[in-house]
Structure 1
């Protein structure tokens, strides 16, 4: 074929080199989604992984599906002085500390589903007014409340026993020998000891250590604890001697601002002379100098040691610095010019699970570090509803970033693109990898477009059989692209017949002619197949199949008399087994016949349809594709019936038997099937690409979280390039290409929570008690239990099942529904079991139990 090798770099088309790029997806929530208020003041996560949000209008919980709001109403039982919350902190028992805007502390007790006024308890027990900015929760179930008034007492609260007299203790200065000192912070080490940091010293609560020096900073590196003063002195705590042992630092260090653990047995001290890195194993230190500009004009705002041993630094003049492991100087990182519309008001770094470094600066930049280009790349986080503005951030247990600005709540999911997605085109209805590895795609509007094996655009096929730089329409809807053993390109269209193009650029156009019974029987060509005898078969969507012989088409209205054209005239696909049995997939079933015949009129056809009441027949008669795997297994994809397997070895008989395949029968509408080099099947559905392993009989589902929220697959056959190991699937506005072995990764195991209950007649759902125990009154045994698998990154494809012990013998599979309704729940003790899949459809071991007692 004559062609022009044109590599076109346009914004419309991307290359497969984009595989392996970081990306982020963004979703914003507001009042319309059920959030208590558009003004968010705090975000946190309780140990059960449920997300909580404090707002100007009370507290909200979020389970990935919806919000439950907890306001203190204005009736006589009101506890909060105001619903305007300042911040929240989680307790180890899954309760929450809430501080209101007027600085009063409260516990939100999830077992009671009510607020407890701690400031009132303090007032009643200790006859003193108390206000605080925040609660400091400890792992032993105790919480420190620091007084906003310097020199005034602090309080220690038992989160599990706060209502008893011993549940709240006053912390006097004289009790800890801290006369005329102010408790500023409490820090906990890995031995669960609590270190009290005052304006004059550090001491261990209920311990034997009180420092002589005014240490202001503390961190732990492995089992070693390091302390520092603001005037530049660094020490290591000796467990044996119970004292702080000084560490010699360079004399140029006069101030220390911060201590950090880098996760590699090193402590990092941010100083006025640069960054001092001290190795706790070798007892050696290294002073890293920063560019003069960063210290002279920019205060260091954030620092991050990453998993590669590098150190990242941001300054308030919007600079980002990088220190490679072992180097003594920090190098500026090229960062895009600040946008006119700022995306951030704060500085931070984040290393995601793919080890991508994400950064934000106070000047408005947000993006990631490109490891190849060695520079920062901007990543817009604008949603359709608002211009983003990051002011407060929270990273959950999955590494998702939640942020709020002036209004609303937004989640940012960080990913790594294992797919190359070409969008901005018309709907693609056909794909083909030819013998050279080039990718051809045909669109609904008639373009035939060629790409190099690397995914770079070559050009648009014209009627002159050349590839052109500018978009060119070849014909009408391109529904079929095939290459035969002579490397001829066959192009089937919907409405414009069939084309063939030779390697020398000679084109033949076949059309239906009413006056010629041996012309193409229909201009709607959906498939072309070359059998083992090198004969060309054509599938049409009006007149069934036909055989091309000497420029004549043999079909059901001339010599192919035995073909059941009345029932099987709408043909989608033609395929063939290794034994030479040809299988026709049509809208009304399957047709099988042997390629071994002398005359077309001798062919004996076998028809197969759905038979009502026969579980061994086709699930539905509307067949999208029949696929023969490399092992010889035959899979049949139907509309609404998922995927079945042909059981019979002899295909040349009537009434073939099929069997359902449990993981594949619930796929919905299966559009196409392809096989990779590892013998895995890739099954395209409307909004997911599924991988099925025939050996383990497991399936992985890749949905909107991996391929895009708005991406929809088309009926086009997917194509696989075995040399490059790349699979291409057609979409509603382009195509998706990926390397299957890179797509598979270990998915997140979402924890399950019972998050709500709604009794019949109630307008609102109630919060479920945190002890997974529920009492049901005798007159309220009609109820709905709500639960969630907490995957805040991608819960779209999570499915559930449940079992009520003593009632159900088997699991009840309820799909994506995450609630169960009971009518007249039997009285007595019950145990409800719930489990779920992960985000890619695998059933996992995350079973959760709810103990129910229904009163008689």
Structure 2
């Protein structure tokens, strides 16, 4: 039996290898994340998880459906899905046309397509799973009732298998339906079921899940292990899975198989063997309900305690759990033989062939604390320690070489360098020691040659000069003159510590405590990239170049910046606008256990021969493969317009090809969108364009919304596209057409009518002028009569002046009192309402004092004009005196008159008085009363006056009623 299993395993491993030859990560290298109800999910039992063609991730729970865009969950329950009998969901099945079937409790079934829900007739009991077959018919796996067939466009369910619990159905390439049930595996051919008895190789046990691989093999997950169909027989996939209860199945992009179990977590079968991931290693729970690999190749695991994801994060880790001597690492060295050396406070490891080997040797039974590493020209490795000087590694064992007792300035060694003349330079806490080829020692200290005895880094340029980074600046040892020259940082840099160098043909790049310093070798000119230029942190430890980018280590993570972009910023003219610094900061969210990348010893970061970059951190050594990071940005990135808000209120999104018609007067239009990346949603960049308003793409950076105000009527097309960081814009733009309709007076017909009316007015003026000349002729003949009438006219003028205000030409207080006294009794007798308002210009004295009385008079006249324009014929206006006016509202109550007063008050407050006086703004207060409960007009005036005082005391610029 064991031999047979071995043959099956070998066959399957060969199948996996042929299926996919891509490099896979060990499970320990995946970056994991968990979501639960605290993260926005409606329930922690993740019954199903899937991804639709538009890029959304969908999660089925007992309390509804969750749609995930990478940043937030949108919850949908039966309150949002019409006619769904219950919010509890068990199954999610995408369709070939881009739709999504959901099914679950009480037999509920609904299809989501074109942003609409089509709830269909419920099944007889809970739906555990369903599929849409090639002929568009539905196959339903029901709890306790069995398997049912529902023909396309039919509400009738045909029972195929009865009186069992069916858990999953699947269709193979021959159109055969396979059903996983509590009675075992059924094969359904032409609607005729056949139970796959032990005669076919399967155990007599319930079957929970099924999978057809890309190669066409049928995989069966049962209560008694996982099985594969070979020809007409079923064979165990792997002996390690023989006794596991398999609840979920998945084939990933490598061709590896993932097995979710009822109580043992997840197993992965690959050519590397079987790996297990359970609650001890980070899973929320060991009961697995669903598995999915999304289009970004992340693995989603649904448990009964939340949603768990494994993804190939930018950074992977080597820690104590993977074999390192300790988690606190200080230095990392890429050896010419392909190995990787990692030193830290607990010793030194060699990583080779995906294994960490500990270098043996200790001091007084305590491990050496390794600060620095260096490979000599002969391939030997030398280690600088914290308390034991310099060691040499021979046959994976430490051999003491030099310490303070044998001539070294200090046992704390942070930098080592073999120069081109095969001399060993040792940077310690007490200066610089050089060991010549003949074994003689030379000491350089801060007493003479160095600005500081604390040496942090050493490097040799192409000319053979030695660059020394210290705790107080940089010096260069000239290979010709054999003397040190100090590199003076400009005072405005405020830099002191030099932690690391990168030297190319033109520049020396220095990682300092104030940023990245560029030193031009020929001219000695320096420039700095620091906080002022946009760096998120100014203390940098190491500069690692890779494919046109600089990778900078810091205590807050790893910063990646394009080298040409740095040059562009540093070379920008002093009076020019500095470009915005574009960078990526990687930290714990990208796979690092700690964002604290250690520095102060070298090398603390290095490029390896396989293109990976390694960083020593406070929690292990972190490694990133830029090629993998770049590959992740090549994955298709769907862009979705999720919401449209009109004046703050959401509207329904249009179907494809349709337009949104908005009413006239829309003042604010906003769009909310998302890029459906689940690996780096916070880092996505967006551009938007509103055709018809601005035909250029507008950079929105990481913003997921765009707003437009006061758009004129017309047709617009809003477009948005997304890109990964440091990647080109993909052809993924989404668009929606918007039509803002016009008021009648904004339409061309109305404007044409106004133009015609204007011509008519001009013609009327012309005719009037002709008439006017004729009239003058008549007036000449009647002058005598006119002169006779002048005396009467003058008498009328005197009478008019007695009742009208000279400044505003409005009725004065005498006329107002006369009218009120004459008409008040009539209105009371006829039981008709009469309202009176008294208006007072606010702070009028301040206007006279600050702008002059002439300006004050102009203000009074302007307000008089505004009152005339805003009042009707039956509303009598008078200048009451000074800055006060009165208004009589015939047949109006105080409440009705208040609306008119408010309109007048707003027209005054909004009027532009700048033509009268620069910076001048005017408001007015209104006191209002009516004749409802008043017996005489004096009392009515008194009440209006009281209301005015109330308005003044209420802060002015308001209307009060008494």
1:333 counterpart residue number: 238
- Quote the residue 1:412 is aligned against: 309
- Assess, with a 3 A threshold, how the Cα gap between structure 1 residues 752 and 305 changes in structure 2: closer, same or farther: same
Question: How far apart, in 1, do the equivalents of 2:76 and 2:565 lie?
Answer: 56
Alignment correspondent of 2:525? 606
Distance 1:830-1:145 versus aligned 2 partners, 3 A rule: farther
| In 1, Cα distance between equivalents of 2:212 and 2:142 | 33
484, 489, 500: which is aligned to 2:419? 484
| Structure 1 segment 321-720 matched on structure 2, within 5 A | 330=235, 333-335=238-240, 346-372=246-272, 375-380=273-278, 386-393=284-291, 396=294, 400-408=298-306, 410-413=307-310, 415=312, 421-422=318-319, 425=326, 428=329, 430-433=331-334, 439-441=340-342, 449=348, 451=350, 456-458=357-359, 460=368, 461=383, 462=385, 463=388, 465-466=390-391, 480=415, 482-486=417-421, 490=425, 492=427, 497-498=431-432, 512=446, 516-518=447-449, 520-547=450-477, 554-556=484-486, 569-578=496-505, 587=514, 590=517, 592=519, 605-608=524-527, 642-645=561-564, 666-668=581-583, 686-687=585-586, 707-708=591-592, 718-720=605-607
Query: What SS does structure 2 have at the residue aligned with 1:810?
Result: strand
Hey, which of these two has a bigger chunk of helix by percent? 2
CA RMSD of aligned residues (A): 5.9
Within a 5 Å distance, the mapping from 1:700-779 to structure 2 comes to 707-708=591-592, 718-722=605-609, 727-737=613-623, 745=631, 747-758=634-645, 761=648, 768-769=653-654, 771=656, 773-778=659-664
Q: Which residue does the alignment assign to 1:21?
A: 26
Mapped partners of 2:161, 2:726: distance in 1? 50
Give the 3-state SS of the residue equivalent to 1:335 in structure 2. Answer: helix
**1:258 is aligned to 2:180:** no
What stretches of structure 1 of length at least 5 have no aligned partner? 1-17, 123-128, 159-168, 172-181, 185-196, 200-215, 231-254, 261-268, 276-289, 339-343, 596-603, 650-654, 669-684, 689-702
Counterpart of 1:805? 691
What secondary structure sits across from 1:48 in the alignment? coil
Structure 2 CA distance for partners of 1:337 and 1:593, relative to 1, 3 Å: same
Distance change in 2, residues 1:398/1:117 (3 Å): same
| Cα distance in 2, alignment partners of residues 435 and 570 from structure 1 | 30
Q: Residues 775-790 of structure 1 correspond to what in structure 2 (within 5 A)?
A: 775-778=661-664, 781-790=667-676
Q: 1:70 aligns with which of 57, 72, 76?
A: 76
Cα displacement (A) at 1:368 = 1.2
* Normalised TM-score (structure 1): 0.59
Q: CA–CA distance in 2 between the matches of 1:132 and 1:619?
A: 56
Q: 1:433, 1:719 within 8 Å by CA — same for their partners in 2?
A: yes
Structure 1 residue 566: Cα displacement: 8.3
Q: Which runs of 5+ in 2 are unaligned?
A: 1-22, 163-167, 361-367, 369-382, 404-409, 743-962
Checking the alignment, whether the CA contact within 8 Å between 1:704 and 1:710 is kept in structure 2 is no
Q: How many residues align?
A: 651
1:814 aligns with 2:712: no
CA 1:811–1:399 in structure 2 vs 1: closer, same or farther (change >3 Å)?
same
Distance 2:560 2:234 in 1: 63
The aligned runs of 1:75-474 (5 Å cut-off) are 82-85=86-89, 101-103=105-107, 111=115, 133=127, 171=156, 183-184=158-159, 219-221=171-173, 224-225=174-175, 257-258=186-187, 271-272=196-197, 290=201, 295=203, 304=211, 306=213, 314-317=221-224, 319-320=225-226, 330=235, 333-335=238-240, 346-372=246-272, 375-380=273-278, 386-393=284-291, 396=294, 400-408=298-306, 410-413=307-310, 415=312, 421-422=318-319, 425=326, 428=329, 430-433=331-334, 439-441=340-342, 449=348, 451=350, 456-458=357-359, 460=368, 461=383, 462=385, 463=388, 465-466=390-391
Q: Structure 2: how far apart are the matches of 1:140 and 1:272?
A: 29
Does the CA contact (< 8 Å) of 2:390 and 2:411 recur in 1?
no
| Contact map agreement 1:229 1:256 (CA 8 A) in 2 | yes
CA distance in structure 2 between the aligned counterparts of 1:217 and 1:628, rounded to whole angstroms: 53
Distance 2:287 2:452 in 1: 58
**Counterpart in 2 of 1:678?**
none
How far off its partner does 1:21 sit?
3.0
Residue aligned with 2:687, SS: strand
Matched position secondary structure for 2:696: coil
SS of equivalent residue, structure 2 residue 240 = coil
Listed one character per residue, the Cα deviations across residues 235-254 of structure 1 (whole Å, up to 9, x for unaligned) are: xxxxxxxxxxxxxxxxxxxx
CA gap 1:46/1:479 in 2 versus in 1, 3 angstroms: same
- Alignment check: 8 A CA contact 1:335 1:377 kept: no
Instruction: Output the CA distance in 2 between the equivalents of 1:423 and 1:465.
Output: 24
1:89–1:736 distance in 2 versus 1, CA, 3 Å: closer
Query: TM-score normalized by structure 2?
Result: 0.54
The partner residue of 1:33 within 39, 42, 48 is 39
* CA distance in structure 1 between the aligned counterparts of 2:693 and 2:108, rounded to whole angstroms: 48
- Match of residue 846, structure 1, among 719, 723, 732: 732
Deviation digits for residues 315-346 of structure 1 (CA, Å, limit 9, x no counterpart): 423x34568x89989466242898xxxxx964
3-state SS in 1 of match to 2:38: helix
